[in-house]
Structure 1
Amino acid sequence: MFRTFWKFVGVAVMALAVSAPVSHAKQRLLMGTSTGGGSYYVLGGTWSNALNGRLGDKVDLSIEVTGGPETNIMLIENKEMDLGMVTAWQAGDMYNGKGKVPQKFQAMRSFIPLYPSYLQIYALADSGLKTIHDIDGKHVASSSAGSSSFLAARAIIETLGLKPAKVSGMPASQQLNTLRDGQTQASFSVMGVPAPVIMEMEASNEINLLTMTQEDFSKLLEAYPYWTQGVIPKGTYKAAKEDIHVISLWNFAVAHKDLPEELVYDMTKATFEVLPQLANAVKDMAKTKPEDILYSSVPLHKGAIKYYREIGLTIPDKLIPAEAK
């Protein structure tokens, strides 16, 4: 009798297990940012918290300190990272096999426009440096090797035929110290405006923002089609006594193309819903608009396409990948 009873209970438990609704596990995602303290890193921390709060039943997003855009693209290609922050320049070049690694990195898909960054080149005013051509024979600094700042500095130096005595990669805080003590004479930084590092420098030192001619811009934009010419408005810094024309680079968030369409749709939609939180972390995010996605240099994720079409954007054919056609 007891054997018959427990046999019945066992069958009933199995029946309940089969008929009970299945709870789908959260999708664990990893996002590549930049070195600690960089804009990508600061934004990533706030963004992950905001998305986890809004999509907590679907997403468990963590961020990873990385070397920046190039590293993020490589990690996504190898499926070691799900999401990453990149510049349109490096993404476009690497997607088309024109990066420093002879390979096409085509697993990434753009889904969120971030903000434009500006290449700002500065020196102490008493150094006498006023234009980009004045760095010949000087020791110049930039961010760590592999960063957008370092790669942009190298690209400008090579394209314009400049001949600095030395180019050193180092964190922003170290750049300030080496400028102040005379070890370096100029610094290259790809950042939003106003850049905290320049504001900090101007708090105790008078600086010059080094300028370029229109001929310089023409050469650079021909060599690097994903670059644009931007403007730092007069008054942004004490040194900006007039509008300063500079190189501008768009930033985007990209996702691996194999991430589910609905997941990326949800993340895209939720990101625009939490923009005020993101702008508290990185002020430039206050200017982010959905239509900025059209500046992308790589195709969009099909989940992002669904969202942008839903709000009325027309996506050009060049931004629609094969899997979304």
Structure 2
Amino acid sequence: MRSTRIAALAATTLLAVSGAHAQDRDGWPSSFTVGTASQGGTFFAYGAGWANLVSDELGVPGGAEVTGGPMQNMALVHNGDAAFGMTTMGPAAESIAGTNPIAPGLEMTNACAMFPMYETPFSVTALASSGITTIADIPAGARIGFGPAGSTSDTYFPLMLEALGVEFERRNGGWSDLGGQLQDGLLDVVAFAAGVPIPAVSQLEVQTRVNIIEFTEEEQATILEQFPVSGFTIPAATYTTLQEDARSVSMWNFAIADCSLPESFVHAAVDVVMSDNARMVNIHRAATETLPEHWDKNTVMMWHPGAARWFIENAGAEIPDDMIHGE
């Protein structure tokens, strides 16, 4: 009898610790994947971290999947090939409009907003030995790595540099691979679009001397006028190379969910991520911006009902019904 009471008490305690996550699991998937990007970039490190956190807290096996980045993630989630993913506002808008290059003409409306992640700054890195210290220093025909094909960087950075008068040879690849090519002299510049600090840049700093190149005020103004980005400052403390804050531009990132996933599952997953920011910051410093008040940075995607309910209940979000999927 005593052992039975102890077992019952243990079960009650476990339920209390698990809270709402232990209830209302009707229709929950047996496992899940999070579409991220290439290894060496912020999407992969951040995505793998929150996938593991959600898996541990909810008791549902899950993990990160290496992908081509925001455009491919929209396609994977829309098609139901991944439960969750990570995207950026620009690629999300293009995907919903049917102009995603992965599937031209397909309006990817089954990928719903889940939670705000962080801003993606656009930054340029070159070896110090190259003598490139400004955008204007980039020589005509420079070999520039723009990240994986179809990524946020690959979609927008070439257009930005063209707007600034830079002529280049376009190269693609994972961030770690491009960082290695830069170090080996196979590239002249890498144009990064990723949450800071970018793991590949931090690794380069350890191995060699680099220049992290900021935009001039005029260059920043040109980009702000022509592209869906906002002004951003990379703090000097982000990298050992930086001696002062660096001027940049950025685009917001959001986690996305298959719109057909159960409301209770997505609500519980959002709660795991958004209820304890310190845990997220331990995963990646970019998560300092993974805060409930940034719900309003989603201006293009329908919200998953479970996610919308969490932000309405916990962040005072005013999300209109016509921005919530199925409402």
Q: Deviations over 1:2-38 (max 9, x none)?
A: xxxxxxxxxxxxxxxxxxxxx9564233321222343
Q: Does 1:153 align with 2:151?
A: no
Gap change, CA 1:314 and 1:177, over 3 Å in 2: closer
| 1:16 equivalent in structure 2 | none
Secondary structure of 2:261's counterpart equals coil
Q: Deviations over 1:247-278 (max 9, x none)?
A: 21221111122222222212211222354333
Q: Deviations over 1:88-111 (max 9, x none)?
A: 221122223344434422111111
| 1:6 equivalent in structure 2 | none
Cα RMSD, aligned residues only? 2.6
Gap change, CA 1:78 and 1:317, over 3 Å in 2: same
| 1:272 equivalent in structure 2 | 274
Matches of residues 1-325 of structure 1 in structure 2 within 5 Å?
26-28=28-30, 29-56=32-59, 59-100=60-101, 101-135=104-138, 136-164=140-168, 166-225=169-228, 227-297=229-299, 298-317=301-320, 320-321=323-324, 323-324=326-327
Question: What is the percentage of aligned positions where both structures have the same residue?
Answer: 28
Measure how far apart 1:318 and its partner are: 8.9
Measure how far apart 1:199 and its partner are: 2.6
* Unaligned ranges ≥5, structure 1: 1-22
Which amino acid letter does the alignment assign opposite residue 222 of structure 1? E
Contact 2:41 2:199 in 1 (8 A): no
Contact 1:50 1:274 in 2 (8 A): no
Measure how far apart 1:69 and its partner are: 1.1
Gap change, CA 1:204 and 1:260, over 3 Å in 2: closer
Structure with max Cα Rg: 1
Give TM-score scaled by structure 2 length. Answer: 0.81
Which amino acid letter does the alignment assign opposite residue 212 of structure 1? F
Contact 1:26 1:60 in 2 (8 A): no
Measure how far apart 1:244 and its partner are: 1.0
Gap change, CA 1:318 and 1:160, over 3 Å in 2: farther
| 2:4 equivalent in structure 1 | none
Which amino acid letter does the alignment assign opposite residue 208 of structure 1? N
Distance in 2 between residues matched to 1:234 and 1:46, nearest whole Å: 25
Gap change, CA 1:32 and 1:179, over 3 Å in 2: closer
Distance in 1 between residues matched to 2:258 and 2:305, nearest whole Å: 11
| 2:6 equivalent in structure 1 | none
Q: Deviations over 1:159-189 (max 9, x none)?
A: 334211x121133333333333332211111
Aligned length: 299
Which amino acid letter does the alignment assign opposite residue 286 of structure 2? D
Which amino acid letter does the alignment assign opposite residue 156 of structure 1? M
Measure how far apart 1:78 and its partner are: 1.8
Distance in 2 between residues matched to 1:79 and 1:251, nearest whole Å: 20
Which amino acid letter does the alignment assign opposite residue 146 of structure 2? S
Which amino acid letter does the alignment assign opposite residue 152 of structure 1? Y
Give TM-score scaled by structure 1 length. Answer: 0.81
